[in-house]
Amino acid sequence: MNKNYYYSMKVDVHNHIGIDPEYEEDRTADELIKEMEKAHVDKCIVFPFTSNPDIWKQNEIVKEAMKKYPEKLIGFFTMSPGIPDMADLMYEYKNQGFKGVVTDPRFGEYFGAGSKCFHELVECALVLDLPVWIHADNKDTMRVSNGPIDSMLSKFGGVKFILSSMYYEAENIAARHGNVFIDTASGMSPSAAGIQTLGTHRILMGSNTPYGLLKREIDKIIYLDELTDFQKSLIFWQNAKRLIRF
């Protein structure tokens, strides 16, 4: 294999489209596609802003985006664990072509290892073979203690989780569970020491657009001189491909 092969594809796993009510951000799939073309990113995983509790409407926006750009966009749906008929809705989204589910501490006390609804969400994801994204976009997720997350991750060893790097000690938590991936979106460049804890085989390039930039995320990986081209290719696309099987 040569460098061209390793750099042949770029997949960014952390992109929001739809409406973020907190700051009235309205991000369209078309805007993301333009940014992808400019940054030479081949595929993006997209999902709604988790700040928007109207998951039905926001997941619909992602569905339409997947339809419009089937080769470019891979959709994950957001799910609030407390909503009635959650499992039925998850089956429906799976049939619509969604490839994963995103949940977040913003969904309140229904989120978390102590909640029966949260268990049901993860159990349903297991049956539907969907990766579960434990998302957060704020350092104050410290209010979600790491212990219960740890316990959930080990309880469901058959489920693939993506843990937002925003979580305190995300790398260390992920290092303890072979079924956990983390993304690179937390702002600073990943350090070689941090990567060593986990290995490069479970790190995914994720820029958190529209608040992050695709180009910036690529640069972060390219400038990691400590990694080989092969290891960089894992972060750029090979890990995502293994996880999502696109």
List of residues contacting other proteins (CB under 8 A) = 21-24, 51-54, 80-84, 105-110, 114-117, 138-140, 143
Could you give the 3-state DSSP secondary structure of residue 45? Answer: strand
- Is the CB of 124 or the CB of 218 nearer to other proteins? 124
- Is the CB of 121 or the CB of 234 nearer to other proteins? 121
Nearest to 104 by CA among 26, 16, 43, 23: 16
Burial class (CB in 10 A: 0-12, 13-18, 19+), 24: exposed
> What is the smallest separation between the CB atom of 191 and other proteins, expressed in angstroms?
24
- Is the CB of 121 or the CB of 130 nearer to other proteins? 121
> What is the smallest separation between the CB atom of 204 and other proteins, expressed in angstroms?
23
- Is the CB of 147 or the CB of 199 nearer to other proteins? 147
- Is the CB of 33 or the CB of 113 nearer to other proteins? 113
> Which amino acid belongs to residue 27?
R
> What is the smallest separation between the CB atom of 217 and other proteins, expressed in angstroms?
24
* Rounded-to-integer distance, Cα 178 and Cα 155, Å: 12
Put the strands of the sheet holding 132-134 in their side by side order: 11-16, 43-47, 73-78, 100-103, 132-134, 161-163, 180-183, 203-204
The residues, any chain, with a CB within 8 Å of residue 10's CB and separated by 6 or more, are 39, 40, 41, 42, 43, 205, 218, 236, 237
> What is the smallest separation between the CB atom of 110 and other proteins, expressed in angstroms?
6
> What is the smallest separation between the CB atom of 229 and other proteins, expressed in angstroms?
39
